[in-house]
Chains A and B, each alone.
Chain A
Amino acid sequence: MPNDKNSQKIVDMITGFARSNSLFMLAYGTGCGDIEIPPAMTSRYDWERFGYRKMATPRQADVLLISGYLATKTLKRVIRSYEQMQEPKYVIGFGSCTINGGMYWDSYNTINMLDHYIPVDVYINGCMPRPEAVMSGLFELQEMIKRGDANGAQKYRENLEWYRANQKKIIKNWKMPDYNW
């Protein structure tokens, strides 16, 4: 009975439903996108209605919102925060600069494509995306979790060498502990 395919499906559905409706988001304002987070979380847009909350520590968080461009110095901290998070964990890339560099595509200090360094589940484009766009990205993530498609963490585990090589290419002084959850 426990190995029955149908019962596994039902369990997946229930866990997906439960996970998608209580997402704790790491409060790490990595870039200028952080300015649209306060409106989205306070009285006017109020994302807490949909089960999102801000969480101060990476180990207790489920979602990492990369709010905008990443300087190489921040990327190091983001990777470390991401690896500290426990599965299930999801990444949202927020703003054009996480997709292709946006305004800073030729800058010497910002990365251009976030998904070469950490796996991204949902992208929200725009510079700056409105709170409505943030919310729509969050709904998309919820739907993906319900469907079981948001498997960035699994991708990261399976292709760790590729991600590590990319990361080490720009982070010259690599002194970080290995997290193997």
Chain B
Amino acid sequence: MTDISLEKEQKIADELERTFPNLTARVRRARRVMASLEKELIPSVLVHAKDNLGFHHLSHMSVVDWIEDEHFEMVYTLWNHEKRVQLTIKTMISRDNATMANIDTIWRQANTYQREMREMFGIEFPGFVGEKDFLLEDWDEMPPMRRDFDTMEYANKTYFSRPGREDAQDVRDTISKRNGEEVPDFAKKYSREK
């Protein structure tokens, strides 16, 4: 639909670019604005968006591991209840010794997200006090959500596995072969072994 005007979205993008010269903002579609900038500016942009632009609600906060380029991508998603616009703010941080500014003084629910990121990705937030354990207990391996952590290898090493369940493939053939069962006719057409 092209007849929807993107006026309010464009205004927000312009306003952001005017205030922060290093920031690039663009309108993706109706009700979606995206901005990317350097890591150092993140807290001030978030405070500006919250206090002056009306983005009071932190919808979501996430991190993506781009292991090939050796960085993490931090993503903050804000929502403006009056104008009904979603603002996505992105930044890159280095993958080794990953640190990021603590924002739980701006939104206190960021506390939970940051606890999870610290545990799952090993990102440190200087000045952040939150309880250490969140989802895992007595974990002494690499943070599990990093791309180089192999969950299957860990599971094979740690847990017992029932024979016949070696891979992610269809197990019906394996089970029937092991038990010497006859595969019924209706099931044969789904069988992988022709």
Mask: chain B, 154-193; 1 = CB below 8 Å from A; 0 = not: 1100111110110010000000000000000000000000
B161 engages A105 (CB within 8 Å): yes
Most buried by A among B135, B140, B160: B160
Q: Decide if B160 touches A116 in the complex (CB within 8 Å).
A: yes
Given the complex, which residues of B lie within 8 Å of A108, measured CB to CB? 144, 149, 151, 154-155, 158
Q: What residues on A are CB-neighbors of B3 within 8 Å?
A: none
Check B148 for interface membership: any CB of A closer than 8 A: no
Determine whether the beta carbon of B165 is less than 8 Å from that of A109.
Answer: no
Given A99-B162, A112-B162, A113-B162: A106 and B155 interface contact (C-beta under 8 Å) = yes
Q: Is the CB of A109 within 8 A of B162?
A: no
B158's partner among A76, A100, A169, A173 (CB-CB below 8 A) is A169
How many residues of B are counted as interface, with CB atoms below 8 angstroms from the partner's CB atoms?
Answer: 19
The residues in A between 37 and 78 inclusive whose CB is less than 8 angstroms from any CB of B are 72-73, 76
Q: Tell me if B's interface is mostly helix, strand, loop or mixed.
A: loop
Partner of A173, one of B138, B151, B162, B165: B138
For residue B158, which residue of chain A has the nearest CB? A170
Is residue A9 contacting chain B, with contact meaning CB distance below 8 A?
Answer: no
CB distance from A72 to the nearest CB of B (A): 7
A101-B161, A101-B165 are contacts. A112–B138 as well, Cβ < 8 Å?
A: no
The complex places the Cα of A166 from the Cα of B135 at a distance, in Å, of 22
Q: Which of B140, B149, B159, B161 is A170 in contact with, Cβ under 8 Å?
A: B159
Contacts of B136 in A (CB 8 A): 73, 109
**Shortest beta-carbon distance, A115 to chain B, in Å?**
9
> Is residue B152 contacting chain A, with contact meaning CB distance below 8 A?
yes
- Tell yes or no: B137 within 8 A of A by CB: yes
A113 engages B160 (CB within 8 Å):
yes
Q: Which residues of B contact A73 (CB under 8 A)?
A: 136-137
User: A25 in the interface, Cβ–Cβ < 8 Å?
Assistant: no
* Residue pair B154, A100 in contact (C-beta under 8 Å): no
Chain B: which residue is nearest A104 at the CB level?
B155
B135: A residues at CB distance < 8 A = 109
Question: In angstroms, how far is the closest chain A Cβ from the Cβ of B174?
Answer: 11
A-B pairs with beta carbons under 8 Å apart, 27 shown? A72-B137, A99-B162, A100-B161, A100-B164, A100-B165, A101-B161, A101-B165, A106-B152, A106-B155, A108-B149, A108-B151, A108-B154, A109-B136, A109-B144, A110-B159, A111-B159, A112-B159, A112-B161, A112-B162, A113-B159, A113-B160, A116-B160, A166-B160, A170-B159, A172-B138, A172-B140, A173-B137
Extra pairs beyond A101-B161, A105-B165, A106-B152 (6, CB < 8 Å): A101-B159, A101-B165, A108-B149, A109-B144, A113-B159, A172-B140
Task: Kindly list the 8 A-B residue pairs having the minimum CB-CB distance in the complex, ordered from nearest.
Answer: A100-B162, A106-B152, A172-B138, A108-B151, A73-B137, A173-B138, A112-B159, A113-B160
